[in-house]
Amino acid sequence: MIDELRTPPGEAALVLASSLGAADPLAAAAALRRHGVPADLAAAALTQAELRRRAVAKFGPDAARMFFTRAGLEQATRVPVADRRAARLSAAGVRSVADLGCGIGADTLAFARAGIRVLAVEADPPTASVAAANAAVLGLAGLVEVRCADARAADLSGVDAVFCDPARRRGTGRVFDPRAWSPSWDFVAALPGRVPATVLKLAPGTDHALIPAGAEAEWVSVDGDVVEAAFWCGPLAEVPRRASLLPSRAVLTGSGVVAAPVGPVRRYLFDPDGAVVRAHLVAEFAATVDGTLADPQIAYVYSDAPAATPFARRYEVLDVLPFSVKRLRAVLRERGTGRLTVKKRGSPVDPDQLRTAMRLSGTAEATVVLTRVAGAPTALLVEPG
């Protein structure tokens, strides 16, 4: 259907579908039919218009010209993340790359924008058609060859590097077992042995045990949301662990195996970015703010100074209470609290249930952090910094 949408009638249907905005689907379909658009073309145009609206968050203005599948958009890399990866490959001297499991082409497009020639391999025919169409509409077809084929059969002899983002969804659900990814982990893990300059894009929750020997494991967050893990193999590895934050471009590196010092709760609490936590770089972060942990298993960092840092949110600690619903309710009522923000790490308490149990009716706002201190359940009243 992508080919039909790229014909003059299809383009006209897309323009009309886009002009309807987020109208009721039945009313939108009726509007297209009144303009003489066949039912199947109208359905395809409305689907693309909807996906283009959703895709703006990942692709920016280019989304208005691109084509998408629902699954492809879900797994597609955001443009700032893909562009940053492509720039790093280009700086490493990579001039050609095989994108195995290219999906709708998000990373393929970034590689091409960086001047890298791309062999884009995708097993699903409709998705491969979308990837080719996206390269064409963005003027990058001269640097991109899309092959509809099984990634496991791709000839890698003519490329400098490999990028692989195995499919981790099936139907509407995520696949957590690496053996059930497509291609499977056995194939993915063997790629650095075939092409040393390999980058593997994986889910943020990927087990550190899967990191190939000698590889750099990077976790990337965008606006505080951890969006991916990337394993940089062979000559591309620079450090053992890296946490990269966008859009600030702040980077924290380290071994990922150092333990942070432990001490009492101090005046300021730092809640590290998820990329720092996922990369096991909490100790390295703590060193930047002269911080300590109050519990060796909880990734909250405490310090006496209100250090400015891109790697964490800072809170001033106002009160430290052994956790008790009754005690916390009394303190909050004494402060005239009516609106309560609940943060937690290392606590089994449900925030919504806690707010209900507080039965607050005041006008003040408060923030409580539920955590552990030296193993003991603790509530910290804090003020965002």
261 occurs within a structural domain:
no
pLDDT given for residue 362 in this prediction: 87
User: What's the pLDDT band for 108 if we cut at 50, 70, 90?
Assistant: very high
Q: Is the pLDDT of residue 24 over 80?
A: no
Domain endpoint, select from 65, 84, 116? 65
Judge whether 309 lies within some domain.
yes
Same domain? For 288 and 308 the reply is yes
Question: Which two three-digit tokens encode residue 22?
Answer: 């987020």
pLDDT attached to residue 17: 81
7 within domain boundaries: yes
Q: How far apart are CA 192 and CA 212, in angstroms?
A: 9
DSSP 123-178: SSHHHHHHHHHHHHHTT-GGGEEEEES-GGG---TT-SEEEE--B-EETTEE---G
Does one domain contain both 78 and 53? no
User: Which SS3 state, helix, strand or coil, does residue 114 take?
Assistant: coil
| Mean of pLDDT values over 175-204 | 89
pLDDT tens digits for 346-383?
A: 999 999 999 999 999 989 999 999 999 999 999 999 99
Which residue type occupies 235? Answer: P
Same domain for 85 and 222:
yes
What contacts 246, CB < 8 A, 6 or more positions away? 80, 81, 84, 220, 221, 222, 223
Is residue 31 located within the same domain as residue 115? no
Number of domains making up the chain? 3
Average pLDDT of the chain, as a whole number: 93
Q: Which two tokens stand for residue 316?
A: 């001033």
Residues 297 and 365 in one domain: yes
Residue with tokens 């100074």: 305
Full residue range of the structural domain in which residue 41 is found: 2-65
Q: How far apart are CA 245 and CA 306, in angstroms?
A: 21
Per residue in 126-139, pLDDT (tens digit) is 999 999 999 999 99
Whether residue 207 sits in one domain with residue 170:
yes
**Cβ 258 vs Cβ 217: under 8 Å:** no
User: Are both 217 and 322 inside the same structural domain?
Assistant: no
Looking at residues 252-277, what average pLDDT do you find? 97
Q: pLDDT exceeding 90 applies to what percent of the chain?
A: 80
**Distance in angstroms (rounded) separating the CA atoms of residues 259 and 339:** 36
Do 200 and 79 lie in one domain? The reply is yes
Is it the case that residue 247 has pLDDT exceeding 80? yes
- pLDDT bin (cut points 50, 70, 90) of residue 32 is confident
Mode of pairing for the β-strands spanning 312-322 and 268-272: antiparallel
Helical ranges in 155-267 per DSSP H: 185-194
Same domain flag for 325 and 371: yes
Mean pLDDT, range 337-352, rounded to an integer: 96
Q: Is residue 340 part of a domain?
A: yes
Under DSSP, is residue 234 helix (H, G, I), strand (E, B) or coil? helix
pLDDT at 172: 62
- pLDDT recorded at residue 4: 77
| Residues 215, 87 within the same domain | yes
Residues 199 and 338 in one domain: no
What does the pLDDT look like over 289-335, one tens digit per residue?
999 999 999 999 999 999 999 999 999 999 999 999 999 999 999 99
* Amino acid 84: pLDDT: 97
pLDDT average, residue stretch 84-103:
97
Both 104 and 203 in a single domain? Answer: yes
Q: What is the pTM of this model?
A: 0.90
- Model confidence at 171: pLDDT above 70: no
Q: For residue 262, tell me if it sits in a domain.
A: no
Question: Quick one: average pLDDT of 8-25?
Answer: 77
